[in-house]
Amino acid sequence: MRKTTGRRGPRPVSGDFKVAERQRKFGSNGPSVPVIGQGTWHLDNGDRAVAIAALRRGLDLGLTHIDTAEMYGEAEPLVAEAIAGRRDEAFLVSKVLPSNASRKGTLAACERSLRRLNTDRLDCYLLHWRGGSPLRDTVAAFEQLVADGKILSWGVSNFDADDLAELQQVAGKGRIACNQVLYHLQERAIEHAVIPWCEAHGVAVVAYSPFGHDEFPRPGSAGGKVLQHIAEAHGVTPRAVALAFLTRREAMFAIPKAGTAAHVADNAAAAGLDLAAADIAAIDAAFPRGPKPRSLPML
Ligand SMILES: NC(=O)c1ccc[n+]([C@@H]2O[C@H](COP(=O)([O-])OP(=O)(O)OC[C@H]3O[C@@H](n4cnc5c(N)ncnc54)[C@H](OP(=O)(O)O)[C@@H]3O)[C@@H](O)[C@H]2O)c1
């Protein structure tokens, strides 16, 4: 069995319950956060009521880490509606665009996101990817927002190990809560340098597009059959198996996007799933890590 050192809630007993949710410390100074969360990119594309019901179902099931961004169209107001009256249950994350990430621009972007999310604080605020603004300016804004109580922590997204090292030089040790990066079965580049760097420095690694955005292995493919076999043995879906594999290391979190309550419930099952060492070995063989690419892949 996979060794799980993260905290667990009670096991579910039956019916429409709050499922057991594996939680881990979010970075070296952060709170305990569920290993499986919820993404919101393109969640505003479909039926609004269905999307809000999906997010709320996720909260019910303990998927309280909700990831959004100023870039995601109408996702922030949609999240606001989903968490109305339940703000304290959520670990709410949003992101500033690099084009807004000057010192003043970051402060203003955060105010806009707080308004759109109808909240007084973010649990974590991220730089969406590295752009032209000097890191020291963005960090100064993040630290001011922390001092003002508008964000409780900050992190980055799409940073390679050398960018993280440079950022830590600027910010000091223990300040970077997380790095949110592309990670799915067919894109394991972060295993080469990003995850080891983050593990060594107490930075949470959040896997985005954990289903490959829209490239989840097809049921009839060789890899799809491996996932199906393991899923049947555990009574879960292949997607839950994939999420459990991606969060098998202690620094890892994942934020799948699901547009329906049924999909959210499928994904929530990953939180209670312990893969056997043989399962992990089979997935590792079916979806090999591959060589280290020259630059960090991103969507
Ligand atoms: N920091 C960054 O640069 C960055 C970049 C990309 C994404 N992200 C974040 O990561 C989140 C997740 O990534 P993503 O949205 O690109 O894609 P994803 O989570 O890899 O995949 C989403 C797709 O999977 C489907 N799906 C989810 N659960 C399913 C289930 N149980 N059964 C069948 N289909 C299911 C969804 O369909 P339905 O909608 O029909 O459920 C959707 O088509 C984003 O929403 C965003 O918050 C961050």
pLDDT at 9: 40
Asked if pLDDT for residue 299 goes beyond 60, the answer is yes
How many domains are there within the chain? 1
Residue 3 has pLDDT above 80, yes or no: no
Is 11 a domain residue?
Answer: no
Instruction: Indicate the average pLDDT of the chain.
Output: 94
Res 8: pLDDT = 40
CATH of the domain at 96: 3.20.20.100
Q: Is residue 6 part of a domain?
A: no
Task: Tell whether the torsion through CA atoms of 144, 150, 152 and 156 is positive or negative.
Answer: negative
Give the mean model confidence (pLDDT) for residues 258-285. 97
- Domain membership of residue 298 (yes or no) is no
Residue 8 lies in a domain: no
**Ligand 1 pocket check for 299: Cβ under 6 Å:** yes
* Domain containing residue 259: 23-286
- Does a structural domain hold residue 169? yes
Contacting residues for 195 by C-beta, under 8 A, at least 6 apart: 205, 249, 251, 252
138 inside domain:
yes
Please report whether residue 291 resides in a domain: no
Q: Which atom belonging to ligand 1 lies closest to the Cα atom of 258?
A: 41
**What pLDDT, in 10s, does the model give residues 186-236?**
999 999 999 999 999 999 999 999 999 999 999 999 999 999 999 999 999
Q: How close is the Cα of 290 to the center of ligand 1, in Å? A: 23
Position 21 scores a pLDDT of 65
Identify whether 7 is part of a domain: no
Contact 166, 135 (CB under 8 A): yes
pTM (predicted TM-score): 0.95
Nearest Cα residue to atom 34 of ligand 1 = 263
For 277-295, the pLDDT digits (tens) are 999 999 999 999 999 999 9
Which pairing describes strands 23-25 and 32-34: parallel, antiparallel, or unpaired?
Answer: antiparallel
Q: Is 180 in the pocket of ligand 1 (CB under 6 A)?
A: yes
> In the prediction, which pLDDT does 27 show?
94
Q: Which amino acid is at 131?
A: G
> Ligand 1 pocket, 38 CB below 6 A?
no
Express each pLDDT in 231-257 by its tens digit. 999 999 999 999 999 999 999 999 999
pLDDT for the residue numbered 140 = 98
% of the chain residues with pLDDT over 70: 93
Instruction: Give the tens place of pLDDT for each residue, 25-67.
Output: 999 999 999 999 999 999 999 999 999 999 999 999 999 999 9
Q: Please report the atom of ligand 1 found closest to the CA of residue 208.
A: 10
What percent of the chain stands above pLDDT 90? 93
For residue 19, pLDDT over 60 is answered with no
144-150: long-range contacts, CB 8 A cutoff, minimum separation 24: 144/107, 145/106, 145/107, 145/110, 149/120, 149/121, 150/110, 150/111, 150/114, 150/120, 150/121, 150/122
SS3 67: strand
